[in-house]
Structure 1
């Protein structure tokens, strides 16, 4: 049992809700998981509350609570918007959780939580400006400046997945239709399903990224070509981030980021595409993996030493 200050982070995913308690140095004190009752808003609130209570009962104390979730709280309405866990949309998630837990709850987009985790004590630690990239079922991004997630006035900062793929070739233009209603979004080229689609066009088979990587390692031409094209497209998209934000570090996350081949020569390609004679931006794989989201949620109440600084 401990009475030391601790933070609780909750990662609200489409299939599971994970919660951890961390001490001031980032060490995990306890962890819990539960299935997400995705179509039942009240049950989601109850599940999160139960996870927090269980952690506090085990540790013996009361912690701050941060929540990472798909979507954001709209600054105009105070309600959740843009969540693919659709039962959250239109709900005052932060206020309802605060009422149940009896304390303020900080809520942030899950991509921003990933970026914050990697900026505080992950692969981007020490960088003043860190851009976190999610290459998974969708493509997302988060921007952290001096240890704080930058939301933007509309709370869509970092949503590079819904910008056009830069410098499309004639064969790529105008791109496929994205669910957002536009053609040629980065997400339609760089998400996991997009990689599977591109491989399917070349081979007639639909495989996941991990399987494509195995085939490429075995010398299959279609898989090698597919990943080489993916890397080229990724380099263009990352070069555009550098042109616009010029971060110290870009951290790659999500399932596709686990494919080793996409890193081969990636920095050189990005440097060639960026509007600069050379770049010093580090482009690195994440350190905390699947735990980054929940850790970042905990760090919404400040990084190491925050209590002493009064964050």
Structure 2
């Protein structure tokens, strides 16, 4: 059996597939915030609990919100910043006593969609994560491009095009820069900016979406989000000219996004 984990900034989800690629186990829990040790413990517990429930050991693969540095083996470029600089692969392998495969979550998503998902049989696919962070991956003929620095597709740290930049409340990204696309298009960033500009009493994109039906200011905020995503993706299109762009992450569930963008 094959055990996979999606380690997100907000939630961690585990799934186990049998030899026929049928899901036989699934569980989702909140991701520990700001604590590497708790994250490690959480991953170990999820794995051991699943295997105990199924009565056998599995192969293990984990998608992480960052990447593994090819030179140091340490986590880099993770919006879950407490992972950065840690040898997650080694530490987890020591904890459970066997090999673990780690890869960037956006790369995993892109490869999956290009292999047997929404972009199946497309030559060039750009996969987009719109969630706690903003990530991306590039797949050519069902092969992921990783690059020498393991940062291929990380468009979230390009600069938001000037027409969409908001200088009055520009947020600093965890990478140390301002005006990163991630600071405009991630879920937390969108919620923060909308609350600041509209005074809305909400704590999630879903709550803002409900309010937007009666509040024109919030509705306008969603329109600006769609416009910002369009501008940002246009940069990717001009460089890559992909056959397909596939969207994932929590904000990919916004139905109007596919019409407006």
Q: TM-score range by the shorter chain?
A: 0.7 to 0.9
Alignment check: 8 A CA contact 1:228 1:262 kept: no
Please show how residues 4-19 of structure 1 align to structure 2 within 5 Å: 6-14=1-9, 16-19=11-14
| Aligned residue number for residue 144 of structure 1 | 139
TM-score by length of 1: 0.71
Q: How many residues get paired?
A: 259
| Aligned residue number for residue 18 of structure 2 | 23
1:233–1:222 CA distance, 2 compared to 1 (3 A): same
Does residue 178 (structure 1) correspond to residue 172 (structure 2)? The answer is: yes
Alignment check: 8 A CA contact 1:197 1:206 kept: no
Does residue 155 (structure 1) correspond to residue 185 (structure 2)? The answer is: no
User: How far did 1:259 drift?
Assistant: 2.0
| Aligned residue number for residue 78 of structure 2 | 83
| Unaligned runs of at least 5 residues, structure 1 | 1-5, 267-311
Aligned to 2:246, which of 251, 254, 258? 251
- Equivalent-residue separation in structure 2 for 1:244 and 1:206 (angstroms): 39
1:206–1:66 CA distance, 2 compared to 1 (3 A): same
- In angstroms, what is the RMSD of aligned CA positions? 2.9
Aligned to 1:104, which of 82, 90, 99? 99
| Aligned residue number for residue 216 of structure 1 | 212
- Equivalent-residue separation in structure 2 for 1:213 and 1:34 (angstroms): 24
Alignment check: 8 A CA contact 1:210 1:259 kept: no
Please show how residues 1-311 of structure 1 align to structure 2 within 5 Å: 6-14=1-9, 16-33=11-28, 36=31, 41=36, 44-166=39-161, 168-169=162-163, 172=166, 176-179=170-173, 180-207=175-202, 208-218=204-214, 220-266=215-261
- Equivalent-residue separation in structure 2 for 1:195 and 1:261 (angstroms): 16
The structure, 1 or 2, with the larger RCO (C-alpha pairs under 8 Å, 6+ apart) is 1
User: How far did 1:175 drift?
Assistant: 7.6
TM-score by length of 2: 0.83
